[in-house]
């Protein structure tokens, strides 16, 4: 099954841990990789109006990937799905920031497009202070099935 890596919101404004950045960088070198970055447009996504928060306007991904897609809101743009399908990708390995929101939103879009979303739990954190991805992993298992969560790098062999 052809796969690609999707790196979600690993940018300085979310203060990702060094171990996460280093682990994603290492994995991104082994396969086709894509990153998403939020570019805020209040008329498109009401972050300020509803959440009182505005994403940084110039905060680029901290991991070099083959391609970067700009998104507005939690989910990735439709062009990302087209890109993956045109490349013949079937399984998308998702890692990054906010396991239970942005990464999960990507999972829903990937699933609805007929792809196999799989979260890389060891390379995914929340943006909140506890930093665990437990809730996100439980949600992935519930929505996408038993093979949708990889707990460790050794799981990549399956």
pLDDT digit of tens for each residue in the chain (158 aa)? Answer: 899 999 999 998 888 999 999 999 999 999 999 999 988 888 888 888 888 888 777 788 999 999 999 998 888 899 999 999 999 999 999 999 987 788 889 999 999 999 999 999 999 987 665 566 677 788 878 888 888 888 888 888 76
Tokens of 151: 């707990």
The pTM is what?
A: 0.88
Please report the pLDDT score of residue 101 as a whole number.
Answer: 82
Nearest 10 degrees: Cα torsion 121, 145, 111, 101 = -40
> Cα angle at 22 between 19 and 27, to 5 degrees?
120
Distance CA 143, CA 24 (A): 24
């Amino acid at each position: 099954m052809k796969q690609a890596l999707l790196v979600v919101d690993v940018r300085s404004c979310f203060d990702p841990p060094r171990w996460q950045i280093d682990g994603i960088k290492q994995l991104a070198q082994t396969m086709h990789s894509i990153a998403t970055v939020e570019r805020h447009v209040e008329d498109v996504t009401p972050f300020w109006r509803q959440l009182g928060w505005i994403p940084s306007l110039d905060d680029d991904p901290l991991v070099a990937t083959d391609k970067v897609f700009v998104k507005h809101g939690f989910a990735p743009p439709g062009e990302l799905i087209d890109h993956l399908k045109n490349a013949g990708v079937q399984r998308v390995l998702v890692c990054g920031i906010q396991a239970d929101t942005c990464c999960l939103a990507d999972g829903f879009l990937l699933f609805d497009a007929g792809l196999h979303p799989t979260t890389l739990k060891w390379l995914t954190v929340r943006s909140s202070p506890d930093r665990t991805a437990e809730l996100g992993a439980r949600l992935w298992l519930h929505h996408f099935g038993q093979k949708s969560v990889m707990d460790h790098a050794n799981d990549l062999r399956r």
